[in-house]
Structure 1
Amino acid sequence: MKYLLILYFLLGICNAVCGQIVIEGKVIDSLSKPIGFASVLLKSTEGGLLNFTRTNDKGEFKLISKTETPLYSIEVSSIGYQKKSVLIKSEIKSYIIILKGSTIDLPTVVVKNGPSLTTNGDTLNYKTSDFADKQDRSIGDVLKKMPGIEVADNGKVSYNGKGISNLYVDGDNILDDKYNIATKAIPHGAVDKVQVIEKDQPIKMLRKNNTSDDVALNLVTTDKAKLKLIGDAKVGGGMPENFDVGFTGMMFKRKVKFINSLKANNVGENLANDLISHNLTDYLKGVENNRPDNFLSAGLSSVPMLPQNRTLFNNVGVANFNNLYKFSDDLSVKANISYLNDSQTQFYQRSSETYLSQDTFKYSETQDNRFKPQKLRTQFNINWNEENNYLNNTLVLDYAPEKVYSNFIINNVAAIQNLSQKTLNFSNDLSWRKKFKSEQMINFYSYINSSNQPENLLVKPGLNQAFINNNQPYNGLFQNADLPTFFTNNYASFTLVKDKFIQTYKAGFNYQNQSLNTQLYQILGNDQPNSLGENYINQLNWNKTKLFLEPNYDYVSDKFKLSFAIPFSYNIIDYKDVSKGFENSLNRLFINPKFSAKIQSGIENYFLASYSFMNSLGGINDIYQGNILTNYRSLSSNNSPINESRTNSFSGVFNYRKAIEMVFLNASVNYSNSILNTISSYQITDNTQQRIQIPLENSIQSFDFKIGASKYLFPLKTTFNIGFKSSFSKFNQFQNNELLPFSNISNTYNLGFDTKISKKINVSYKANYNHNLSKTVSVKDIKNKVNQLNQKGTLSYNLLNNVYLNLSAEQIYTQQSSQKDLSYVFADVNLKYRWVKFKTDIELNANNLGNIKTFETVFVSSNSLSKGQYQILGRMVLIKAAFNF
C-alpha cells in the first residue's frame, strides 16, 4: 500500500510537469534596446489572468503555461511604451516582442509661476502658449524666450549651444535649411508646441541603429492651422519716402504644405536673410566641393557692427516659393524657388594703419558705392523614405549676377571702379539606400556640379603709375577672370549590423576640372585695352582626382557610443599653364584617422570627445603665377607649390539639462594645430598691397573654450541666459620681407533675460562685451587692443485693451588704446493697435529717434587698425497695416 501511494504521488508530479510548457521571450524597443522590468501577463482567451512575471534587466522573461488552455495571449506593458498583446501559437515557444514608444501619462503637476516642459525619449516639447505674449507676432519671437533655445541675429537657431540641422513643420522639411522665412512668417498662434529632437535621423532605415548627433526643431501646428490657408498681407509707408509691403501664404495640411511670400521694402530689412542656408558650409565640406570664391572684389570696408536696419540703404524685392506635396507618408516631392533683386548704396570714410617693426603705412579713402545684386535659385527634390528603401534626389540651379559701382578717393586721388560678376551653378545630389532582412544596408551616392563665375573689374584713371606702368600715366586698368569648374563625387558603401556593432565600408572617387583664364589690360589714351604682358596672364588648367576607401566602425549602447574611421585616399593632381610654359603633377597617399566617444553620463547629460588627423591639399588659387588685380589697390599671384597642410584637431563637449526644472548648460573646448608648406608674402605701401604665395613652412594654432547656460526662473517668470567664450590663435605673417609671429586673444561675455513683470508688462535685456587683443611675439610695440560693449533693452507694455507699446534702447560703446572712446545710443518706439474684428494690426514705428546719421567704428586685424565713419539710416517713421487670415 505504501508503494502504491508513492507511485501515485510520482505519477501526479509527472502529470503536472508534463502538462506544462515554458514560454520564453525578450522585450525590446524600436531601436532593439532591451526593456527591463516590463510587466508580462499570460491571459486566457476570455481575458482571465493565468500567470504573470516581469522582464529582467536584459529584457528577458519566462512563463509557465498549462496545456489545458489551447489559445491564450501574452500582454506586455511598460511606462513610456504602448501596451502590446501577442497571440500564443503552440509551435512557437520563444518570442521577441517589440514595444513602440508613447507619451508618458503621469499625474499632472501644476507650476503656478511659469510654463512647463515635457520629454519623451530624445524629444523635448515646449508648449508655445506658455512662452508667448500678446505682443509677439511670429514663432521666431517666441523661440527667443524659450530656455535652451537661441536665435542669432542672422536667424540661425541653436539648442543648448548646438546649431539645428533641420527645421520641420509637422515632421516635414519644407524649406531645406533655409528656415528663416518660417520663423519670421508662421504666427505663433498656429504652433501648438515646439519640439527639440535630439539624435535627429530623417532616414527611417537608420533610426534603429541611430548614430546621429544632430539636433532638429519640429513645429507642431494646431488642428485649426491644418485646415485652411493662413498668412498675412502688409502694407506700410512713411518718411522719408519709405515703404514696406509683403504677402505670405501658408498651408500645413497632411499632403500639401507650402510657405510662399512676396516682399519688398526700402527700410533696411535685408530680405536676402530669408534665403540663408545655415548649414551650407558643412554640406559643401561633406561633398568635398571646395571651389574658390570670386577672385575679384571691390575692396570695400567691413560693415559696422550694427543691426542692418540701421545701416542698410536698400530697395529690395524677393519672391520665395516653397511647396511640398506628399503622395504618401513615404513619398514626397518638393520645389523651392526664389528670386531676389536688390539695389543698395553705401557711403563711408576710412583710414587704415599697418604697423611693422621699422615703419607704419597709412592710407585714407572715401567711397560712394552702389550695389545691384540678384539671386535666382531653383531647387527640385524627390524623397522616397521607407523602412527598407530610401531615395533622395535634389536638383539645383543658381544664378547670381551682381554689379558694383564705386566712386572713391584714395590718398587724395579720385577714381571710379566698376565690378561685374555672374555666377552660374548647377548641381545634382543623388542618394539611394537599401536595407535587407539581415539588417545589412547598401548605399550609392553621386554628386555632380558644374559652375562658372566670369568677372570683370574696371578702374579709372590709372592709379599707382610707379607700381603698374613705370611712372608713365595711363587711363585705367581692366581685369577679367573666368573659372569654369566641373566636379563630381561618387561612392558606394556597405553596412553590417550585428547587435551593438555597426561596420560601414565606403569606396569611391571624386574628380575636379578647372580652367582659370585671366588677363589684365592697360587702358590707353584712346580707351583701347592693351595687354600688360605674360606676367598678367593666366591660362591654367587643373585636374584633381581622388580615390578613397573609408572603413567606419561604430559601437552603440544605451550609455556609450564609440566611432572610429580610417579613411585612405590617393590624390592625383595635374596642372599646366600654356602662357607660362610650365606643367606639373603631384601624387599623394593620405591616411586621415578620426575617433569620437560619447558617454551618456545621465539621463539628460553627456560627454563627447573627438580627435582627427587631416592631410589636405590646396587648390588652383594657390598656384597661378600671373598677377591678378583683385581690387583697385591689390595684386595677387603665386610662386610656390600646391599648399599642403597637416592638421591635428581635438574637441570636447559637455551637455547638461534638467528639462523639468528648465536648466540647460553646455560647454565645449577645441584645439587645432596646422602645419603648412607655404605662406602669403605681402609687399605693402601707402597705396598698394601685393600678395605672393611663397614656399615657407608655416604653422597655425587655435584654441577656444565656450560655456553657456540658460534657466527659467519660476519665481521671477524670467528666462535667463549667460555665456562666455575665449579664443586664442597663433600664426605668422610675412610682410615687406619681415616674418611676424602674431597672437590674437578674444574674450566675449554674454548676458540676457526676458521677464514678465505682470500681465501687461514685459522687459527684455541683452548685453555683449568683447575684448580683443592682437600683438606680435617678437615686436613689443605692435599691439592692438579693443573693448566693445553692446547692450539693448526693450519694454513692452499693454497700454489699453488691444493697444501695445514697445520702447527699446541700444548702446554701442567702443574703447581702443590711443584713440578716443566711442559711444552711441539708439532709441526706437513701436505703437500697435490690434483691430480684432478685421484681424488687422495697425502699427506706428519710429526708429532712431535721435536721428543719428553717422557712425564711427574701429576694426582690428593683427597689426592693422582701421577707423571708419559710415553714413547710416537716420530717423524713420513708418505706418503699417497687417491683415491676418
Structure 2
Amino acid sequence: MFTTYHRLIAIKLIRFLWLLVIPLIPLSGTAQNDIISGKVVGENNTVLASANVTLVNDNGVILAFSISDDDGKFQIDIASINKTSNLYLEVLYLGYKKERQQFSETSSVYNFKLIPDATLLDEVVIRDKPLVERQGDTLEYNVSKFSKPEDRSIGDVLKRMPGIHVTSDGTIYYNNEEILNLYIHGDDLMAGKYGLASRVIRKEDIISVDIMRNHQPIKVLQDKVPSNKIAVNLVLKDEDSFKLSAQALLGAGLPKQYDLEITPILLNKTVKFLNHIAANNSGIDYRRDFKQLGTQNFISNKQSDEVAFSLSQGTVGSPDLPTEDYYINNSASINLNNLYTFKNDLKVRLNIQGLIDKNTLSYSNQLINYTANDTIIFDERQNLTNRPKILLSSINVMKNQKNFFFNNNLKINVSRNDDSSRLSFNDDSFSQNLSQNEFTISNDFNYIPKLSTKGIAEIRLITEYNTKDNKLNLRDGYQFPITQDEDYENVEQLLEIPTFYMDGFLSYKLPTSTIKQDYRLGYTRENREFNSTLLFNTTNESFIYDGDSGNALNWKKSKYYFISDFSVETKKIRASLNLPIFYQSINYSQKEYNLDKKDIGFFFNPNINFQYAFNVEKRLNFSYGHNTNFGNLSQVFRGVVLQNYRSLLSNNANLQRSDTDTFSLKYTLENSAELMFINGGITYRTLKINNILSSTIEDNIIRSELLPFGNTQNNLTLNLGFSKYLFAFKTKFSLNTQLSQSTFENIINDNLVPFKSNGILLSSNFSKSFLDIFTLDYTPRANWNFSRLEADDQNLSVESISYKTFRFEQNLNLTVTPAKEWNLKLNSNYISIKQNDFNSNTYFLLNLNFQHNLKNDKFELGIDVTNLFDVDEYRLYSITDNQQINTNFQLRGRMIIARLNWYL
C-alpha cells in the first residue's frame, strides 16, 4: 500500500519524466483553427496543474501533447496532424480517473472535469516514448528504439530507420529526397562532408535524429523566405557536457596487413570537434571522408563552371565493389574538424583533410567498338600505380542571428599525383607516367542584414584562383598512331589550365507581403587559358608535333544577371516562380588557327515549382524548368590533345549551347503514426545541343571531335518507393523501383548512329531481429539494361549493337549475439551478371567478423576475415553507346586482421 509520502514522490517523478521526454510546442505563428485548447479541473472545480493531455489515434499512438499550466489550461497545435482517422483527447492525472473525449474538427475547446480515484495509483500506466514524434515540419526518430546492441555508430542506426536510406558513399536520403546537410545539434561541423561523422559518432551520444522538412537554417530568413530543403539534425543527449569521447584502433593481420586509427570527439553547445588520424594497407579508402555530400555554412555551394578535363593513364574506372575487395593501398590520412561558438554567437570553424597514398590496380580489358562497316576490338592489360597527395583546408567565420547573417569561408586546396603504369595494348607494350598538380584558393563572403524598411538585403562575393598542370609521358615502345616525321623515344603531352573566377551579387528581399519577392542583380567574370603541347623526345632534343600548332587558347566570359523570385505560401499551397534574365559575353581566341569567336546575347531561364499539401504528411509537387547552358573551353580548342594512349581529342565546332526543358511530378506520403513512407514521380527531360560528338575508330586509336550539327537527347524516368516499419515484427521493410528510357545520337566513322537505352532497377531491404540473438539484414537488387540501334537505314545490323545486360546482387548481413559480450557478423555479397550471349558470371564474396567486448564495453576485440573464399578476379560488363566493355579486375584475395578497439 502506498503512503501519502510515496504518492507525492510518484507524482513528482512522473511530472519530471513528462517534462524530460515531451518538449512544449511553440504557440507563436500558428493559425487559430489549428489550435485546440481547454481547462482541466478536479472535484469542486479545483485547478489541476501539470495534467498530461495527449491526442491519440485508435491504436493509442500519441500524435500531440501538452501539460496544463498553473491555471489548469492547455493548448495543442494540431496543424501537422492527419485528421482522417478517429482521434481522441486523453487527460491523465495521478489520483484521478483518466478522461477521454473524441476529437471533432468542428470544436476547438475541450474542458475536462476529472473524478477522484483513490486506487488509481495501482492502475497508472506511464506510456513509453514513441518511436517517432512529429513537431510541425520536423519528424523526430527516437534513437534508442531503432538501435541494436551490435551498433556502434549513429550511422548504423540511421540505416534501420524507415524512410531513411544511406548509400554506399554515405549520402543520406529521406523518402527518396537527398538531404541538404547533416547537422550536429544545429551546427555544420563537417562543412558538408558528413560521411565521417555518421561513421564515428557513437549512438549513445545522440538522443534523436530529427528530419527537418522545409528547412531554413538562416535565422534572419526564417518564416520569411520559404525553403523546400530537407536536413538531418543529430540531437545530443547532453549539450552541456564537456566529456571527451575517443576511439582508438590497432589492427594487424595477414598478409602483412595493418590498420591504425585514433578519433577524439567532443560535442556540446559551445565546443565541437571531431578529429581523425588513421593509416592502413587493408583496403580502406579515406577519400570517402573527403567527399562533399551536403552544402557548406548553411548556404548553397556556388561554384564556377568546373572544367572537367584532364589527362589520364587509362580508360577504365574502379570495379563496383566495396573498396576493401580490390583497393590495394598504403594510406595515411588526417581529418580535423573543429568548431567553437563564442558568447556573442560567433562561430569559427577549421576543417583540414590530408591524404598520402600509394595504391595499385591491375586489370585486363576488352573494348568492342561497333561501326557501320566493321567491329574493332581493343585488348589491353595494365598495372597502375597511383601516388596521390591531397591537402584540403578551410576556415569559416559565421554569425547567424535574427537580425543578420554573416559568413566568410576561405579555402586552400593542394593536390599532386605521381602515377605510373606498365601497359600492353593490342600488339604493343610500353610504360607511362602521369603527373598532375592542382592548386586552388577561394573565398566566399556572404552578408544578409535585416533592414529597417522590413526588407532584407544580401551581399555575396566569391573569388577563386585555380591552376591545373598535367604531364603524360609514354615511352618504352609506344607508337604514336598518327604519322610523325621525326624519330622519337617517347611521347609527352603537356597541359595547363589556369583560371580566375569571380561572382558577386546584391539582393533585396520583401518577405512580409502576400507574395514574397526577391530581386537579385549580379555579375560573373571568368578568365581561363588552355595551353597544351605534344612533344616527341629523343635523348638530346625534343620535337613539337607537326600535325598542328598545339593549343594556346584564351577564354573570357562575363555575365550580367537579374533574377526575380516570387513565392506564395498558404496552409495548403507553396508556389514559387524564378525568372532569371542574363546577358552573356563569351570570347575565345587563338591566333594560330585564326580563331576569334564572340558569343553574346540575352537569355531567359524560367523555373516554376508548385506544391499542394493535402496535409502536413501528404504532398503533390509539380515543377518545370528551362535552362540554357554553354560549354567551356575544353569544347573549342582546335589542336590535337593526346588525352591517353588511345584517345586523340580536338574540336571543329563553335561553342556548345544546350537547351534543357525538365518536367517533374512527384508525390510523397509520410504517415508518421504508422511509420509508412511512400514516394513516386515522373521526370521528363529533353536536351537540345547545337553540336554532336563524332568519333573515328581506327585500329589503335579513337579520334573524337565536336561537329556543328544539331543533336537532341530525351530522357524519361519513373520511380516508386515504399518504406514501412512493421510493428508486429519490429522491423523495417523497403522497396524501390525505377524505369528509365533515353534516346541520343552519335556519329561513328561518319555515320549518324541513333540509340535508345532502357533501364529497369528494382531494390529492396528487409531487416529483422529474431529471439534477441539473430539480426538479419537482406538487400536484393536487380538491374536490367537494354540498348539498341533505333533505326537500321544504314548498312549496320541492328542485332550487332543490341545490348542486353542483367545484373542481380544480393547482400546479406547476419549478426549472431549469443551473449552481450560476443557477436558474430557474417556479410555475404552474391553477384550474377549476364550480357548478350556471353556466359553468366557469378561471384560469391563472404566476410566474417568476430567481436568480443571487454571491461564494460571499453575494449572490443575483433577478428575480420575478408573474402573468405579467396576470390581473386572480378569481371565487369558495361555499355556505352556503340561500345561493349568487358573488364577483368584483380581483387585483393583473402585477408585476416585482428583489431583492438578502445572506447573512452
TM over 0.5: yes
8 Å contact kept, 2:240–2:269 = no
- Could you give the per-residue CA deviations for residues 672-715 of structure 1, whole angstroms, max 9, x where no partner exists? 11111111111111310111111001111111111111111111
Amino acid at match of 1:518: S
In the alignment, what sits opposite 1:98?
A: none
Match of 2:740 among 727, 730, 733: 727
Gap change, CA 1:537 and 1:224, over 3 Å in 2: closer
Shift in alpha-carbon separation, 1:154–1:299, aligned structure 2, 3 A: same
Contact 2:37 2:74 in 1 (8 A): yes
Equivalent in 625, 633, 644 of residue 620 of structure 1: 633
Q: 1:821 to 1:682 in 2, by over 3 A?
A: same
DSSP-derived class of the 2:210 partner? strand
Secondary structure in 2 aligned to 1:696? coil
Q: Is the CA contact (8 Å cut-off) linking 1:508 and 1:549 kept in structure 2?
A: yes
Question: In structure 2, what is the equivalent of residue 185 of structure 1?
Answer: 200
1:750 is aligned to: 763
Give the Cα–Cα distance (whole angstroms) in 2 for the partners of residues 669 and 646 of structure 1.
20
Please name the residue that 1:3 is paired with. none
Q: Are 1:299 and 2:314 an aligned pair?
A: yes
Task: Identify if the C-alpha distance between structure 1 residues 143 and 767 changes in structure 2 by more than 3 Å, giving closer, same or farther.
Answer: same
Q: Is the 8 A contact 2:877 2:884 kept in 1?
A: yes
1:491 is aligned to 2:505: yes
Instruction: Give yes or no for contact 2:429–2:478 (8 Å, CA) kept in 1.
Output: no
Q: 1:583 aligns with which of 581, 591, 596?
A: 596
Alignment match, 1:477:
491
- Partner residue in 2 for 1:865: 884
* Contact 1:553-1:565 at 8 Å conserved across structures: yes
Q: Partner residue of 1:530?
A: 543
Q: Distance in 1 between matches of 2:29 and 2:440?
A: 41
Match of 1:78 among 75, 78, 92: 75
Partner Cα separation in structure 2 for residue 281 and residue 333 of structure 1: 13
* Cα deviation, residue 564, structure 1: 0.7
Match of 2:720 in 1: 707
Residue 500 (structure 1) aligns with? 514
2:808 pairs with 759, 782, 789, which one?
A: 789
Alpha carbons 2:35, 2:78 under 8 Å: kept: no
Partner of 2:103: none
Letter in 2 for 1:570: Y
Q: How many angstroms apart in 2 are the aligned matches of 1:466 and 1:135?
A: 58
Residue 696, structure 1, aligned to residue 695, structure 2: no
Alignment-derived partner of residue 247 in structure 1 = 262
Sort the Cα spacing of 1:502 and 1:821 in 2 relative to 1 into closer, same or farther, 3 A.
same
Tell me, yes or no, if structure 1 residue 200 matches structure 2 residue 215: yes
Which one is further off, 167-176 or 574-583? Answer: 574-583
- Cα distance in structure 2, aligned partners of 1:281 and 1:631: 35
Q: 1:536 to 1:350 in 2, by over 3 A?
A: farther
Alignment of 1:234-383 (within 5 A): 234-279=249-294, 287=302, 289-328=304-343, 330-383=345-398
CA shift for structure 1 position 281: 12
C-alpha distance in 1 between matches for 2:673 and 2:124: 13
Change (3 A) 1:167 1:268: same
TM-score where L is the length of structure 2: 0.85
Q: What is the distance in 2 between the residues matched to 1:286 and 1:237? A: 41
Name the SS for the 2:289 alignment partner.
helix
CA RMSD of aligned residues (A): 2.6
**How has the CA–CA distance of structure 1 residues 636 and 674 changed in structure 2, closer, same or farther, with 3 Å as cutoff?**
same
Distance in 1, Cα, partners of 2:310 & 2:812: 42
Change (3 A) 1:620 1:555: same
Alignment of 1:329-728 (within 5 A): 330-461=345-476, 463-469=478-484, 474-524=488-538, 526=539, 528-533=541-546, 535-728=548-741
Gaps of at least 5 residues in structure 2 are 1-24, 40-44, 48-69, 80-122, 793-797
Residue type of the partner of 2:717?
A: D
Cα 1:33–1:568 shift into 2, 3 Å: farther
| Residue identity matched to 1:149 | I
Is the 1:856–1:870 Cα contact (8 Å) retained in structure 2? yes
Q: Does 1:828 align with 2:828?
A: no
**TM-aligned CA distance change 1:841 to 1:74, over 3 Å:** closer
Q: Report the CA distance between 1:33 and its aligned residue.
A: 5.0
| Secondary structure in 2 matching 1:184 | helix
Q: How does 1:153-164 map to 2 (within 5 A)?
A: 153-164=168-179
Inter-partner Cα distance in structure 2 for 1:557 and 1:635: 57
Q: Specify the alignment match of 1:880 in structure 2.
A: 899
TM-score computed with the length of structure 1 as normaliser: 0.87
SS class of match (1:147) = coil
CA distance in 2, matches of 1:766, 1:75: 52
Separation (CA, whole Å) in 2 of partners of 1:644 and 1:572:
13
Q: Take 2:707 and 2:869, find their aligned partners in 1: how far apart are those partners?
A: 52
2:339–2:349 contact (8 Å) kept in structure 1: yes
One-letter amino acid of the structure 2 residue matched with residue 827 of structure 1? L
Distance 2:256 2:459 in 1: 56
Say if 2:863 is the partner of 1:844.
yes
Q: How many Å separate the matches in 1 of 2:790 and 2:844? A: 37
With over 3 angstroms needed to count, the CA separation of the structure-2 counterparts of 1:466 and 1:495, relative to structure 1, is closer
Where 1:79 maps in the other structure, the secondary structure is strand
Q: How many residue pairs get matched?
A: 804
Q: 1:147, 1:662 within 8 Å by CA — same for their partners in 2?
A: yes
Give identity over the alignment, percent: 27
Measured at CA, do residues 37 and 323 of structure 1 come closer, stay the same or move farther in structure 2, by a change above 3 Å?
Answer: closer
Greater shift in the superposed pair: 437-446 or 338-347:
437-446
Offset at 1:866?
Answer: 1.2
Unaligned runs of 5+ in 1: 1-26, 42-46, 50-72, 83-106
Change (3 A) 1:281 1:701: farther
Contact 2:725/2:731 (CA < 8 Å) preserved in 1? yes
Return the alpha-carbon distance in structure 1 between the equivalents of residues 71 and 514 of structure 2. 27
Superposed displacement of residue 839, structure 1: 0.7
Whether the 8 Å CA contact 1:204–1:385 is kept in 2: the answer is yes
Deviation, structure 1 residue 299: 2.3
Give the direction of change, closer, same or farther, for the CA distance of 1:30–1:436 in structure 2 (3 Å limit): farther
1:854 has 2:873 as partner? yes
Structure 1 residues 601 and 860: CA distance shift in structure 2, 3 A: same
Distance 1:600 1:330, change over 3 A: farther
Could you tell me how far 1:582 is from its partner in structure 2? 2.5
State which structure, 1 or 2, has the greater radius of gyration over its C-alpha atoms: 1
CA contact (8 A) 1:419 1:455 kept: yes
- For 2:296 and 2:400, how far apart are their aligned partners in 1? 25
- Between the aligned partners of 1:284 and 1:521, the Cα distance in structure 2 is 45
Query: For each residue in 1:597-654, what CA deviation from the matched residue of structure 2 results, as whole angstroms up to 9, or x when unmatched?
Result: 0111222111111111111211111111011110111111111111111111111221
- Residue 477 of structure 1 deviates from its aligned partner by 0.8
User: For the Cα contact (< 8 Å) 1:31–1:209, is it kept in 2?
Assistant: no
Kindly tell me: are residues 280 and 201 of structure 1, through their superposed partners in 2, closer, same or farther at Cα, counting changes over 3 Å?
closer
Q: Which amino acid aligns with 2:735?
A: I
Q: Which amino acid aligns with 1:547?
A: Y
CA contact (8 A) 1:40 1:74 kept: no
- State the alpha-carbon separation in 2 of the partners of residues 29 and 732 from structure 1: 58
Shift, 1:223, TM fit: 2.2
- 2: CA distance between counterparts of 1:548 and 1:76? 55
Aligned-pair CA distance for 1:667 = 1.4
For residues 59-82 of structure 1, the C-alpha deviation after alignment (integer angstroms, 9 at most, x for no partner) is: xxxxxxxxxxxxxx9999631499
Q: Distance in 2 between matches of 1:869 and 1:789?
A: 18
CA deviation after TM superposition for structure 1 residue 302, in Å: 2.4
Q: Secondary structure at the match of 1:305?
A: coil
Residue range with higher mean Cα deviation, 685-694 or 273-282: 273-282
> What residue is the counterpart of 1:130 in the other structure?
145
Relative distance call for 1:286 and 1:127 in structure 2 (3 A) is closer
What CA deviation, in whole Å up to 9, does each residue of 1:463-483 have, x standing for no partner?
44452426x753221010101
